[in-house]
Amino acid sequence: MQVKTIRQKLDLKLLSGANLDCEISAAYCSDVLSDVMSKAKKNYLWITNQNHENVLAIAFFKELSCIILTSGIIPEDDVLHKAIEKNITLLSTDLTAFEISGELYKLGIKGKV
């Protein structure tokens, strides 16, 4: 499924990123950065509450499809500018990590490790 499809179906707010045609192979939900570094793979969608530059570095390094920030979290301007600069797709939702995970699961996005 493409990022633009989940964005539309789940009414996610686009914060940054232009590659909405990117395919999502699976989802990973964690706020522990070392956990994401060791387990997330290319084209994964990452669900997190973390909203600092280290998150962007991991997403860039791991070539993740996008990041969904939960609970209405919007990063500071410097983080948003860095996400735009690195072309990292950041989405935001008012749902909790648990709730958005369930919605993604219903759409057929599963987690793999």
Domain ranges in the chain are: 3-106
pTM of the model: 0.94
48-62, 71-85, 99-113: lowest mean pLDDT where?
A: 99-113
Please name the residues in contact with 86: beta carbons below 8 A apart, sequence gap of 6 or more: 56, 60
Residue 92 confidence (pLDDT) above 70: yes
pLDDT tens digit string along 23-48?
999 999 999 999 999 999 999 999 99
Length of the chain: 113
**C-alpha–C-alpha distance, residues 32 and 79, integer Å:** 18
Which residue's structure tokens are 């990292």? 88
CA distances from 57 to 36, 86, 97, 99 (A): 11, 9, 21, 26
Domain 3-106 has CATH 3.90.25.10: no
